[in-house]
A and B are shown apart, each in its own frame.
Chain A
Amino acid sequence: QVQLQESGPGLVKPSETLSLTCTVSGDSINPYYWSWIRQPPGQGLEWIAYVYYSGRTNYNPSLRSRVTISIDTSNSQFSLSLTSVTTADTAVYYCARGNRHDVFDYWGQGTLVSVSS
């Protein structure tokens, strides 16, 4: 059974960098792509970025200037970095797997990241 687990600080100060890691177990990193998706409290879902097992990346144009996604295939992990955060970046951050049908078939449980001084 594929499992994804997010990890990282639950509180980040405004203007600082949010960093999260997702650890994958139960299946190989390839040939899939791996994504970050967020959900502000009480709101809908927003795709942030994805990274292929090969390292190829793709970003939401609205966040591109502040986001970096990377992958560590040897440790079955991928990571998110979001710079210059504001309170608008407060959200539950999910990691998810993109399958061969180009949809998200496995998700982590999500981690709440609050941006506050």
Chain B
Amino acid sequence: EIVMTQSPATLSVSPGERATLSCRASQSVGSNLAWYQQKPAQAPRLLIYGASTRATGIPARFSGSGSGTEFTLTISSLQSEDFAVYYCQQYNNWKTFGQGTKVEIK
């Protein structure tokens, strides 16, 4: 099983600032990496797939990068609606999720 490790567990950011979230895979997943956003009592929402392609309707302030084992999700200027938990997920071999990064208001 490919283990996905996200850091940090919690990120405190002020509105308007940049947020950088990391995701590491225990072995290479190529570009088969997605990011999801989850708000309290809601289902996850697909943000990014293929490591860097935004899903339909996702604002340009969300960007993804990386390949192999190291990936990054960047939110260029945090809006109030962006405070949530973010999960990475690999789909190169079965499907496994990271444990999540909570982005909270500083």
Contact = CB atoms under 8 A, between A and B. Distances in A.
B83 interface: no
Interface residues of B, number: 24
Contacts of B55: 103, 105
Nearest to A110: B43
A39 B85 CA distance: 13
A107 interface: yes
Contacts of A44: 87, 97-100
15 contacts: A43-B99, A44-B98, A45-B97, A47-B94, A47-B95, A61-B1, A96-B43, A102-B91, A103-B46, A104-B34, A104-B46, A105-B55, A105-B56, A107-B43, A110-B43
Interface of A: 35, 43-47, 58, 60-62, 94, 96, 101-105, 107-110
